[in-house]
Amino acid sequence: MSQIQLDTVARHRPFLKWPGGKFRLLSHILPHLPQKQCLVEPFVGAGSVFFNTVFPQCVVNDINPDLMNLYQYIQIVGTACLDHFESFFQPKNNNARRYYQLRTQFNTTTDAQDKAALFLYLNRHGYNGLCRYNNKGLYNVPFGYYVRPYFPHKEILHFLELSQKSKISLRCAHFSDVIREAPRGAVIYCDPPYVPLSKTANFTGYYHPFGLEEQIQLAESACLAVKRGCTVLISNHDLPITRELYRPAKLMTFSVQRNISCNSKKRVKVGELLALYMP
Protein backbone atom coordinates (compact mmCIF):
# COMPACT_ATOMS: atom_id res chain seq x y z
CA MET A 1 0.00 0.00 0.00
CA SER A 2 1.14 3.53 -0.75
CA GLN A 3 2.52 5.55 2.14
CA ILE A 4 -0.13 8.10 1.29
CA GLN A 5 -3.69 7.19 2.13
CA LEU A 6 -5.87 7.63 -0.93
CA ASP A 7 -9.62 8.09 -1.29
CA THR A 8 -10.62 4.53 -0.42
CA VAL A 9 -9.19 4.97 3.08
CA ALA A 10 -10.98 6.92 5.81
CA ARG A 11 -9.42 10.30 6.47
CA HIS A 12 -8.18 11.42 9.87
CA ARG A 13 -9.49 14.76 11.06
CA PRO A 14 -7.04 16.95 12.94
CA PHE A 15 -7.71 17.65 16.62
CA LEU A 16 -7.86 21.42 16.04
CA LYS A 17 -10.14 23.55 13.91
CA TRP A 18 -7.91 25.78 11.82
CA PRO A 19 -8.42 28.69 9.40
CA GLY A 20 -7.49 27.48 5.94
CA GLY A 21 -7.39 23.83 7.08
CA LYS A 22 -6.96 21.44 4.14
CA PHE A 23 -9.06 18.50 5.33
CA ARG A 24 -11.66 18.86 2.55
CA LEU A 25 -8.99 19.25 -0.13
CA LEU A 26 -6.96 16.15 0.68
CA SER A 27 -8.03 14.22 -2.41
CA HIS A 28 -6.50 16.98 -4.56
CA ILE A 29 -3.28 17.31 -2.53
CA LEU A 30 -2.20 13.82 -1.43
CA PRO A 31 -1.73 12.29 -4.91
CA HIS A 32 1.02 14.86 -5.61
CA LEU A 33 3.17 13.93 -2.61
CA PRO A 34 5.60 11.20 -3.70
CA GLN A 35 6.78 8.43 -1.38
CA LYS A 36 10.07 9.51 0.15
CA GLN A 37 11.89 9.23 3.43
CA CYS A 38 10.86 12.60 4.85
CA LEU A 39 7.87 14.94 4.77
CA VAL A 40 8.45 18.57 5.73
CA GLU A 41 5.47 20.83 6.55
CA PRO A 42 6.71 24.39 7.16
CA PHE A 43 3.13 25.73 7.73
CA VAL A 44 1.52 22.80 9.53
CA GLY A 45 -1.47 24.51 11.22
CA ALA A 46 -3.86 21.76 12.34
CA GLY A 47 -1.94 19.30 10.16
CA SER A 48 -4.63 17.84 7.87
CA VAL A 49 -2.01 16.69 5.36
CA PHE A 50 0.52 15.41 7.87
CA PHE A 51 -2.29 13.52 9.71
CA ASN A 52 -3.14 11.62 6.54
CA THR A 53 0.30 10.49 5.45
CA VAL A 54 2.83 8.08 6.89
CA PHE A 55 6.44 9.01 6.17
CA PRO A 56 9.30 7.45 8.17
CA GLN A 57 10.40 10.96 9.12
CA CYS A 58 8.44 14.23 9.42
CA VAL A 59 9.49 17.80 10.16
CA VAL A 60 6.44 19.63 11.44
CA ASN A 61 6.71 23.40 11.80
CA ASP A 62 4.60 26.47 12.40
CA ILE A 63 5.53 29.96 13.52
CA ASN A 64 2.76 29.95 16.14
CA PRO A 65 4.41 29.00 19.48
CA ASP A 66 1.07 28.20 21.19
CA LEU A 67 0.26 25.67 18.49
CA MET A 68 3.69 24.05 18.60
CA ASN A 69 3.62 23.98 22.41
CA LEU A 70 0.40 21.95 22.19
CA TYR A 71 1.88 19.38 19.78
CA GLN A 72 4.99 19.16 21.92
CA TYR A 73 3.07 18.70 25.15
CA ILE A 74 0.98 15.86 23.66
CA GLN A 75 4.09 14.19 22.26
CA ILE A 76 5.93 14.35 25.61
CA VAL A 77 3.07 13.45 27.96
CA GLY A 78 1.28 10.91 25.72
CA THR A 79 -2.20 9.65 26.62
CA ALA A 80 -1.87 11.16 30.11
CA CYS A 81 -2.66 14.57 28.57
CA LEU A 82 -6.20 13.44 27.68
CA ASP A 83 -7.70 13.71 31.18
CA HIS A 84 -6.09 17.09 31.70
CA PHE A 85 -7.46 18.41 28.39
CA GLU A 86 -10.91 16.89 28.88
CA SER A 87 -11.27 18.49 32.32
CA PHE A 88 -11.84 21.82 30.50
CA PHE A 89 -14.57 20.38 28.24
CA GLN A 90 -17.35 20.47 30.79
CA PRO A 91 -20.75 22.21 30.58
CA LYS A 92 -19.71 24.57 33.40
CA ASN A 93 -16.96 25.95 31.13
CA ASN A 94 -19.25 26.43 28.13
CA ASN A 95 -20.56 29.94 28.75
CA ALA A 96 -19.24 33.38 27.84
CA ARG A 97 -18.27 34.44 31.38
CA ARG A 98 -16.16 31.32 31.97
CA TYR A 99 -14.71 31.40 28.43
CA TYR A 100 -13.38 34.95 28.95
CA GLN A 101 -11.93 33.98 32.36
CA LEU A 102 -10.10 31.05 30.80
CA ARG A 103 -8.98 33.19 27.85
CA THR A 104 -7.41 35.64 30.34
CA GLN A 105 -5.77 32.72 32.12
CA PHE A 106 -4.36 31.54 28.77
CA ASN A 107 -2.99 35.01 28.04
CA THR A 108 -1.29 35.33 31.43
CA THR A 109 -0.05 31.84 32.32
CA THR A 110 3.56 30.86 31.71
CA ASP A 111 2.92 27.20 32.50
CA ALA A 112 3.38 25.18 29.27
CA GLN A 113 0.93 22.44 30.36
CA ASP A 114 -1.89 24.87 31.17
CA LYS A 115 -1.15 26.83 28.02
CA ALA A 116 -1.52 23.65 25.93
CA ALA A 117 -4.80 22.57 27.57
CA LEU A 118 -6.26 26.08 27.35
CA PHE A 119 -5.25 26.47 23.70
CA LEU A 120 -7.24 23.35 22.84
CA TYR A 121 -10.19 24.55 24.98
CA LEU A 122 -10.18 27.99 23.29
CA ASN A 123 -9.91 26.47 19.83
CA ARG A 124 -13.02 24.32 20.36
CA HIS A 125 -15.08 26.88 22.34
CA GLY A 126 -14.10 30.07 20.46
CA TYR A 127 -15.76 31.62 17.44
CA ASN A 128 -15.52 29.65 14.21
CA GLY A 129 -12.18 27.96 14.96
CA LEU A 130 -10.37 31.28 14.52
CA CYS A 131 -6.87 31.73 15.88
CA ARG A 132 -6.32 35.48 16.25
CA TYR A 133 -4.10 37.71 18.38
CA ASN A 134 -4.20 41.48 18.98
CA ASN A 135 -1.17 43.71 18.41
CA LYS A 136 0.00 43.05 21.98
CA GLY A 137 0.14 39.35 21.13
CA LEU A 138 -2.92 38.48 23.23
CA TYR A 139 -5.34 35.83 21.98
CA ASN A 140 -8.62 37.66 21.34
CA VAL A 141 -11.11 35.29 19.68
CA PRO A 142 -14.66 35.80 21.04
CA PHE A 143 -16.81 33.05 22.58
CA GLY A 144 -18.30 30.68 19.98
CA TYR A 145 -21.67 29.68 21.52
CA TYR A 146 -21.53 25.99 20.54
CA VAL A 147 -24.12 23.71 22.17
CA ARG A 148 -21.71 20.90 22.96
CA PRO A 149 -18.09 21.47 21.89
CA TYR A 150 -16.48 18.28 20.67
CA PHE A 151 -13.56 16.81 22.61
CA PRO A 152 -11.15 15.38 19.98
CA HIS A 153 -10.10 12.27 21.92
CA LYS A 154 -9.61 9.93 18.96
CA GLU A 155 -7.92 12.65 16.89
CA ILE A 156 -5.32 13.20 19.64
CA LEU A 157 -4.77 9.44 19.83
CA HIS A 158 -4.17 9.41 16.09
CA PHE A 159 -1.42 12.01 16.48
CA LEU A 160 0.15 9.84 19.18
CA GLU A 161 -0.02 6.78 16.90
CA LEU A 162 1.69 8.76 14.15
CA SER A 163 4.39 9.73 16.62
CA GLN A 164 5.03 6.00 17.21
CA LYS A 165 5.18 5.17 13.49
CA SER A 166 7.28 8.14 12.34
CA LYS A 167 10.15 10.12 13.71
CA ILE A 168 8.46 13.50 14.14
CA SER A 169 10.59 16.61 14.71
CA LEU A 170 8.59 19.59 15.94
CA ARG A 171 9.86 23.08 15.18
CA CYS A 172 8.67 26.63 15.71
CA ALA A 173 10.60 28.66 13.15
CA HIS A 174 10.26 30.84 10.09
CA PHE A 175 9.35 28.78 7.02
CA SER A 176 12.48 29.93 5.13
CA ASP A 177 14.78 28.32 7.74
CA VAL A 178 12.79 25.09 7.72
CA ILE A 179 12.83 24.80 3.92
CA ARG A 180 16.54 25.66 3.74
CA GLU A 181 17.34 22.97 6.33
CA ALA A 182 15.05 20.27 4.86
CA PRO A 183 16.87 16.97 4.31
CA ARG A 184 18.04 16.30 0.73
CA GLY A 185 15.30 14.60 -1.29
CA ALA A 186 12.52 15.50 1.17
CA VAL A 187 8.91 16.15 0.14
CA ILE A 188 7.92 19.65 1.27
CA TYR A 189 4.23 20.56 1.43
CA CYS A 190 3.66 24.31 1.88
CA ASP A 191 0.29 25.69 2.88
CA PRO A 192 1.07 29.37 3.56
CA PRO A 193 -1.44 32.07 4.48
CA TYR A 194 -3.01 32.72 1.07
CA VAL A 195 -2.59 35.79 -1.11
CA PRO A 196 -5.81 37.77 -0.43
CA LEU A 197 -8.53 37.54 -3.09
CA SER A 198 -9.01 41.32 -3.00
CA LYS A 199 -7.43 44.38 -1.40
CA THR A 200 -10.11 44.47 1.31
CA ALA A 201 -10.06 40.73 2.04
CA ASN A 202 -6.70 40.79 3.79
CA PHE A 203 -7.64 38.42 6.62
CA THR A 204 -4.71 36.46 7.87
CA GLY A 205 -5.80 35.83 11.45
CA TYR A 206 -2.63 33.91 12.17
CA TYR A 207 0.17 34.57 14.58
CA HIS A 208 2.44 36.33 12.13
CA PRO A 209 1.80 38.83 9.30
CA PHE A 210 2.33 37.37 5.84
CA GLY A 211 2.62 39.79 2.93
CA LEU A 212 3.86 39.82 -0.64
CA GLU A 213 7.48 39.80 0.52
CA GLU A 214 6.93 36.44 2.27
CA GLN A 215 5.05 35.05 -0.77
CA ILE A 216 8.05 35.89 -2.97
CA GLN A 217 10.46 34.46 -0.40
CA LEU A 218 8.48 31.20 -0.35
CA ALA A 219 8.59 30.85 -4.14
CA GLU A 220 12.37 31.47 -4.07
CA SER A 221 12.87 28.97 -1.23
CA ALA A 222 11.02 26.34 -3.27
CA CYS A 223 13.39 26.80 -6.24
CA LEU A 224 16.42 26.44 -3.97
CA ALA A 225 15.03 23.31 -2.30
CA VAL A 226 14.50 21.65 -5.69
CA LYS A 227 18.22 22.12 -6.39
CA ARG A 228 18.83 19.91 -3.33
CA GLY A 229 16.61 17.17 -4.76
CA CYS A 230 13.45 18.09 -2.83
CA THR A 231 9.94 17.98 -4.24
CA VAL A 232 7.88 21.03 -3.21
CA LEU A 233 4.11 21.37 -3.41
CA ILE A 234 2.54 24.78 -2.61
CA SER A 235 -1.17 25.58 -2.17
CA ASN A 236 -2.55 29.06 -2.78
CA HIS A 237 -5.41 30.95 -4.41
CA ASP A 238 -5.47 30.79 -8.19
CA LEU A 239 -4.69 34.42 -9.08
CA PRO A 240 -2.55 36.09 -11.75
CA ILE A 241 0.04 36.92 -9.09
CA THR A 242 0.35 33.34 -7.79
CA ARG A 243 0.63 32.00 -11.34
CA GLU A 244 3.45 34.47 -11.87
CA LEU A 245 5.14 33.64 -8.54
CA TYR A 246 5.13 29.90 -9.22
CA ARG A 247 6.01 30.12 -12.94
CA PRO A 248 8.84 27.54 -12.75
CA ALA A 249 6.45 24.95 -11.28
CA LYS A 250 3.85 22.65 -12.80
CA LEU A 251 0.52 24.37 -12.04
CA MET A 252 -2.74 22.55 -11.32
CA THR A 253 -6.08 24.19 -10.55
CA PHE A 254 -9.45 23.24 -9.08
CA SER A 255 -12.26 25.13 -7.39
CA VAL A 256 -13.75 24.87 -3.92
CA GLN A 257 -16.79 26.25 -2.12
CA ARG A 258 -15.61 28.67 0.58
CA ASN A 259 -17.01 30.93 3.30
CA ILE A 260 -15.01 34.06 2.64
CA SER A 261 -16.52 36.30 5.31
CA CYS A 262 -17.73 36.05 8.89
CA ASN A 263 -21.22 35.90 7.38
CA SER A 264 -21.39 32.18 6.56
CA LYS A 265 -24.16 32.83 3.98
CA LYS A 266 -21.53 34.35 1.72
CA ARG A 267 -20.30 31.18 0.05
CA VAL A 268 -18.49 31.50 -3.25
CA LYS A 269 -16.51 29.24 -5.56
CA VAL A 270 -12.83 30.05 -5.26
CA GLY A 271 -10.05 28.85 -7.54
CA GLU A 272 -7.26 26.90 -5.82
CA LEU A 273 -3.80 26.54 -7.28
CA LEU A 274 -1.29 23.76 -6.60
CA ALA A 275 2.28 24.46 -7.69
CA LEU A 276 4.48 21.38 -7.97
CA TYR A 277 8.26 21.84 -8.13
CA MET A 278 10.11 18.65 -9.01
CA PRO A 279 13.86 18.00 -8.99
Ligand X SMILES: C[S@@+](CC[C@H](N)C(=O)[O-])C[C@H]1O[C@@H](n2cnc3c(N)ncnc32)[C@H](O)[C@@H]1O
Give the binding site for ligand X (CB under 6 A).
18, 20-22, 42-43, 45-49, 62-64, 174-175, 191-193, 206-208, 210, 214
Q: What is the dihedral of CA 209, 135, 65, 171, to 10 degrees?
A: 30
Q: Cα 204 vs. chain centroid, distance in angstroms?
A: 13
What is the nearest approach in angstroms of ligand X to the Cβ of residue 76?
Answer: 21
| Nearer CB in complex with ligand X: 26/81 | 26
What is the nearest approach in angstroms of ligand X to the Cβ of residue 136?
Answer: 18
What is the nearest approach in angstroms of ligand X to the Cβ of residue 207?
Answer: 5
What is the nearest approach in angstroms of ligand X to the Cβ of residue 192?
Answer: 6
| Nearer CB in complex with ligand X: 121/206 | 206
Q: Sign of torsion, CA 105 107 112 117? A: positive
What is the nearest approach in angstroms of ligand X to the Cβ of residue 96?
Answer: 26
| Nearer CB in complex with ligand X: 114/214 | 214
What is the nearest approach in angstroms of ligand X to the Cβ of residue 195?
Answer: 12
Crossing angle (nearest 10°) for helices 153-165 and 65-77: 70
| Nearer CB in complex with ligand X: 208/247 | 208
Beta pairing class for 231-237 and 167-171 = unpaired
| Nearer CB in complex with ligand X: 174/228 | 174
| Nearer CB in complex with ligand X: 38/60 | 60
